[in-house]
Amino acid sequence: MQRRRRFKQTLSLEQRLSEEAKRLRTAANLLPPGAARDEMIRKARQAEIGSRMNAWLTSPHTEKTVCSAPAENRVP
């Protein structure tokens, strides 16, 4: 059985996503208008949203509970 190769990330997920978004936007600006450029801009937007979501989810003000309703009142 093969072992997984694991390594410690040097940058946070938020930083990596932000850098990827910047890289994609820069590359998209070099392309002529068209499908390839639109795709790169879409991926950059996704990376930015992912970065913001990660920041929001890891913030100390985010409530960590899944559902605050009593068990008998929860919708399955």
- Could you tell me the residue ranges of all domains in the chain? 13-59
pTM: 0.68
Q: 15: part of which helix (H) or strand (E)? A: helix 13-30
Tell me the average pLDDT across 10-34.
94
Cα gap 10→65, rounded to integer Å: 29
Whole-number average pLDDT of the chain: 85
Q: What is the dihedral of CA 2, 8, 13, 14, to 10 degrees?
A: -170
Question: Which pLDDT score, from 0 to 100, does residue 62 have?
Answer: 63
Q: How many DSSP H helices and E strands does the chain contain? A: 2, 0
Using a pLDDT cut of 90, give the percent of the chain over it: 49
**pLDDT, tens digit, 9 for 90 and up, residues 28-62:** 999 999 999 999 999 999 999 999 898 888 888 76
pLDDT higher than threshold 60 for residue 69 = no
Cα gap 19→15, rounded to integer Å: 6
